[in-house]
Amino acid sequence: DAGVTQSPTHLIKTRGQQVTLRCSPKSGHDTVSWYQQALGQGPQFIFQYYEEEERQRGNFPDRFSGHQFPNYSSELNVNALLLGDSALYLCASSLWGPEQYFGPGTRLTVT
Amino acid sequence: EDKVVQSPLSLVVHEGDTVTLNCSYEVTNFRSLLWYKQEKKAPTFLFMLTSSGIEKKSGRLSSILDKKELSSILNITATQTGDSAIYLCAVEAGWAGNNRKLIWGLGTSLAVNP
């Protein structure tokens, strides 16, 4: 049973560029949440997708957008990248309740 | 504003020591408290606590919730170097449906030296 998978593992982008990160949830899970984790910080909630719709959103600008596909996989898009967007981006899936299963993350570096 | 505070922020101990990590919260409509361990990348689930005073245990790790004090502790006995990690506390809060959310603490960084 595959757990949560994310791609790519690492990514280097230049300021102003756009990036797309991908996530496949754990088998049987229908809800996907995205988090940004800066070094030395706890995860910061970006948004959550359920039934292909954004169900909740954290305090992130509109440059951060997402999508969920019918197979429950999800994408996180970030436009007009800033240096401050450099972080570990974690995807977590769940079925119901608060317990979430995390993927290995994508390390994004913006130069 | 909902918040979760963990203490200490970092801790260095020797193998065999016992450690106690703290998590306190101020949230609207508490639902549950979760502990995660983060080693290199993905946090892994340890415990979920919903009822006050009932200890959850897994091997050398245990945790308990005190709803009166709005806090929880995570104990690790006979620590090993493999326990070195960041321990994260998250609180689920909010009302039914779309208003539920997880609020995360900054974590406690634990280093266990041989």
> Are the beta carbons of B92 and A105 separated by less than 8 Å?
no
Nearest 5°: phi and psi at B92? -90, 130
What pLDDT band is residue B98 in, cutting at 50, 70 and 90? Answer: low
The reply to whether residue A99 touches residue B101, judged by beta carbons under 8 angstroms, is no
Mean pLDDT of B6-29: 96
In chain B, what percentage of residues exceed pLDDT 70? 96
pLDDT attached to residue B91: 94
Q: Tokens 């039914």 — which residue?
A: B96
Q: Does A57 reach chain B within 8 Å, measured CB to CB?
A: no
Chain B residues touching residue A4 (CB < 8 angstroms): 42
Phi-psi region of B16 (alpha: psi -120 to 50; beta: other; left: phi over 0): left
Structure confidence by residue, pLDDT tens digits, B66-87: 999 999 999 999 999 999 999 9
Of all residues in chain A, the one with the smallest CA distance to B87 is A42
- Integer angstrom CA distances of residue B102 from A2, A6, A31, A111: 24, 21, 14, 31
Question: How far lies B5's CA from each of A47, B31, B85, B106, in Å?
Answer: 22, 17, 18, 7
Chain A hits for B98, CB-CB cut-off 8 Å, are: 55-56
- Tens digit of pLDDT at every position of chain A (111 positions): 679 999 999 999 999 999 999 999 999 899 999 999 998 788 899 999 998 999 888 889 999 999 999 999 999 999 999 999 999 999 999 987 788 899 999 999 999
- Sheet with B19-26, side-by-side order of all strands: B3-7, B19-26, B71-76, B61-66, B56-58
Contact list, B44 vs chain A (CB under 8 Å): 102
pLDDT band at B96 (very low <50, low <70, confident <90, very high): low
For an interface test with B, which of A29, A44, A47, A102 has the most B Cβ atoms less than 10 Å from its Cβ?
A102
Pick B98's closest partner by Cβ from A45, A56, A104. Answer: A56
For testing contact with chain A, the best of B10, B47, B102, B106 (most A CBs within 10 A): B102
How many Å lie between the alpha carbon of A106 and the closest alpha carbon of chain B?
Answer: 9
- The whole-angstrom distance between A97's CA and the closest CA on chain B is 9
> Which among B34, B98, B104 has CB closest to A42?
B104
Q: Does residue B99 surpass a pLDDT of 90?
A: no
How, if at all, do strands A10-13 and A106-110 pair?
parallel
Burial A36-58 (b: 16+ CB within 10 A, else e): bbeeeebbbbbbbbbeeeebbeb
Task: Identify the sign of the CA torsion B28, B33, B34, B38.
Answer: positive
Residue B97 has pLDDT above 70, yes or no: no
Residue B93 vs residues B7, B8, B13, B31, B69: alpha-carbon distances, Å: 20, 23, 33, 5, 16
Name B53's Cβ contacts closer than 8 Å, sequence gap at least 6.
B64, B65, B66
DSSP sequence for A59-79 = S--TTEEEEE-TTS-EEEEE-
